[in-house]
């Protein structure tokens, strides 16, 4: 159904902050092992719930501004935005049940 799309420093505001749906943002980098573990979990959630929640990922190597502006201090960091506001944030690789729990009230 859904898939995870890429956002950048340039598109973050439009795609995430101005979205009419809740958005789960995965901050990642290619050198981050735990990021690679959590990526397929987020893909699964996007497949199952992409009609109600938007799932995006942001490469912190090529987009340094957004993580800095949003207090991302470690990777992976997962954030959930609703109506342009940060409502939930997780640092480190989390299980599917934890990530699903973060969005289930919006499903």
Question: Which residues are known to be catalytic?
Answer: 32, 35
Cis-peptide into 60, omega within 30 deg: no
Tell me whether residue 1 is exposed, middle or buried, using C-beta atoms within 10 angstroms of its C-beta: 0 to 12, 13 to 18, 19 or more.
exposed
Encoded tokens for 13: 């505001």
């Amino acid at each position: 159904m859904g898939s995870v799309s890429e956002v950048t420093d340039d598109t973050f505001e439009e795609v995430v902050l101005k979205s009419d749906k809740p958005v789960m943002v995965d901050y990642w980098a290619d050198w981050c092992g735990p990021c690679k573990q959590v990526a397929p979990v987020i893909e699964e959630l996007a497949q199952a719930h992409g009609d109600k929640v938007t799932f995006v990922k942001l490469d912190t190597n090529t987009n340094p501004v957004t993580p800095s502006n949003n207090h991302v201090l470690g990777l992976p960091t997962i954030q959930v935005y609703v109506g342009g506001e940060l409502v939930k944030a997780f640092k480190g690789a989390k299980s599917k049940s934890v990530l699903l729990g973060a969005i289930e009230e919006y499903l």
